[in-house]
A and B are shown apart, each in its own frame.
Chain A
Amino acid sequence: MDEKTLIAKRVALELRPGNLVNLGIGLPTMVAAHLPAGVNVFFQSENGIIGMAPVPEPGAENEDLSDAGGSPIGAVPGAASFDSAMSFGLIRGGHLDVTVLGGLQIDEEGRLANWMVPGKMVPGMGGAMDLVSGAKRVIVAMQHSAKGTPKIVKRCELPLTSVRRVDLIVTELAVIEPTDKGLVLREIAPGVTVADVLAQTGAELIVPSVVPTMPVGA
């Protein structure tokens, strides 16, 4: 299993039947393909639909139906479409159960930076600031390091997305839960040791006496 698939599979275990879920573009999008059997959720795309699905078959694209990246999508029976104020009312108003986002940095207080690298990359925050402010549960799905540099750091140097503490961090090495006491190492990936995780983390981790392995099969 490659690293991104492992992360997507582990994040998918966090979703509960009936949840309204928003997946960020890139790695988080992969979570949709790894839902456990019997877990049916509704996916929101912030450009204005609940009930997004893959395009049913080639040739069935609809030019008026796309995801937040502009790529064609389908819609499940029971889908609903709406304008951008409604879409962000759902997000900011506490109606969204889970958002899964990518990350550039997370610090010891569980604060996320994921929308710009000053002087280099200025994509804009899009919906990320509203998603982190308003979702009931914020899960960050990202690779543990960027070209050998830890992404989990003492204090974010990059501009923050929100001061809200995120709820869970899932990487190819570990599951980490930000708490009011600090970052707690909850699980390690198959074949990974606690020492491996500590070596690739730029922040203090609280390590419980027992750290189980992620419950993800091949």
Chain B
Amino acid sequence: MSKVRKLEDTVAMIPDGAVLMIGGFMGVGTPPHLIDELLRQNKRNLTVIANDTARPAVGIGRLIAAKAVRKVIASHIGTNPETQRQMIAGETEVELVPQGTLAERVRAGGFGLGGVLTPTGVGTVVEDGKQRIELDGTVYLLEKALKADFALIAAKRADYLGNLEYALTARNFNPLMAMAAETVIVEAEDIVPVGVIPPDSVVTPNVLVDCLVAKEHRHG
């Protein structure tokens, strides 16, 4: 059964105050039309978990500029002066997480783990408020898993069932986030008939995907 839905209806499922994971790295691999529609429907008080906030006019940066976001959990905001301004002014809460730790926290959330032990951040401000665990002579921080209400995912190709393929560096956090949210919404560049994507090429299996929105073309 096809999971293709109308963009408006799909985004209408997302309430104000929702926790969103949004794929992408500096806008590459961020689903553009889902961002457009979040803005058009004037969503508010969102919590966004993402690698970065891109630039003010790009990807997640547009949600920041529109004041749609209450809290950001990200590894890097250096390319978006507006995120830094909102953080320093106390308008938006920002939790900075080392990039590899962010990836693992999202992965843990989707893989049924409570968290991970990582040496990254030991002895730095990242350690504040966290449990330190020594194991076989190495010190680790206990970093808790992250989960979300919705994941907004960009894929290169999807079939109608929701099997996904990604492209090059647009993959980044997308397959991890597709595991870690209650509802997974995918914007695919192409939607193709079932069977076109060979099983070996599927990175995100269809059972994880709830809704598909076409970015450009549809075939079949």
Please give the residue numbers on chain A whose beta carbons come within 8 Å of chain B beta carbons, in ascending order. 45-49, 62-66, 68-70, 75, 81-85, 87-89, 91-92, 119, 121-130, 133-134, 159-163
B87 touches A122 (CB 8 A): yes
A130 to B25, CA, bound (A): 17
Please give the residue numbers on chain B whose beta carbons come within 8 Å of chain A beta carbons, in ascending order. 25-29, 51-52, 54-55, 58, 74-79, 84, 87-88, 96, 98-104, 106-107, 118-126, 156, 166-176, 203
**Given A75-B168, A159-B124, A127–B98 Cβ distance below 8 Å?**
yes
Please list 21 pairs of residues, one from A and one from B, whose beta carbons are closer than 8 Å in the complex, sorted by A's number: A63-B170, A66-B169, A70-B55, A83-B174, A83-B176, A87-B103, A88-B103, A89-B100, A125-B96, A125-B98, A126-B78, A126-B98, A126-B99, A127-B75, A129-B98, A130-B98, A130-B120, A134-B120, A159-B125, A160-B124, A163-B122
CB distance from B64 to the nearest CB of A (A): 14
A84 touches B103 (CB 8 A): yes
A46 to B100, CA, bound (A): 9
Q: Give every chain A residue within 8 A of B29 (Cβ-Cβ).
A: 64
A129 touches B120 (CB 8 A): yes
B99 touches A45 (CB 8 A): no
Q: Give every chain B residue within 8 A of A128 (Cβ-Cβ).
A: 98
CB distance from A48 to the nearest CB of B (A): 5
A45 to B99, CA, bound (A): 13
Which residue of chain A is the closest to B167 with respect to CB atoms? A64
A83 touches B99 (CB 8 A): no
CB distance from B75 to the nearest CB of A (A): 5
CB distance from A119 to the nearest CB of B (A): 8
Q: Give every chain A residue within 8 A of B166 (Cβ-Cβ).
A: 83
A64 touches B169 (CB 8 A): yes
Which residue of chain B is the closest to A62 with respect to CB atoms? B168
B169 touches A48 (CB 8 A): yes
Q: Give every chain B residue within 8 A of A91 (Cβ-Cβ).
A: 100
B176 touches which one: A70, A85, A163 (CB < 8 A)? A85
Interface centre among A45, A63, A88 (most CB of B within 10 A): A88
Which residue of chain B is the closest to A45 with respect to CB atoms? B169
Which residue of chain B is the closest to A79 with respect to CB atoms? B168
A64 touches B170 (CB 8 A): yes
A64 touches which one: B107, B125, B156 (CB < 8 A)? B156
B99 touches A46 (CB 8 A): yes
CB distance from B7 to the nearest CB of A (A): 20
A160 touches B76 (CB 8 A): no
B75 touches A126 (CB 8 A): yes
A81 to B165, CA, bound (A): 12
B171 touches A48 (CB 8 A): yes
B78 touches which one: A83, A87, A124 (CB < 8 A)? A124
B75 touches which one: A92, A124, A134, A163 (CB < 8 A)? A124
Q: Give every chain A residue within 8 A of B75 (Cβ-Cβ).
A: 124-127
A85 touches B103 (CB 8 A): yes
CB distance from B23 to the nearest CB of A (A): 10
CB distance from A55 to the nearest CB of B (A): 13
**Given A84-B99, A129-B126, A65–B77 Cβ distance below 8 Å?**
no
A70 touches B103 (CB 8 A): no
Q: Which 3 residue pairs spanning A and B have beta carbons closest together?
A: A123-B78, A70-B26, A88-B100
A123 touches B173 (CB 8 A): no
Which residue of chain A is the closest to B102 with respect to CB atoms? A84
A47 touches B26 (CB 8 A): yes
A83 touches B98 (CB 8 A): no
A72 to B78, CA, bound (A): 19
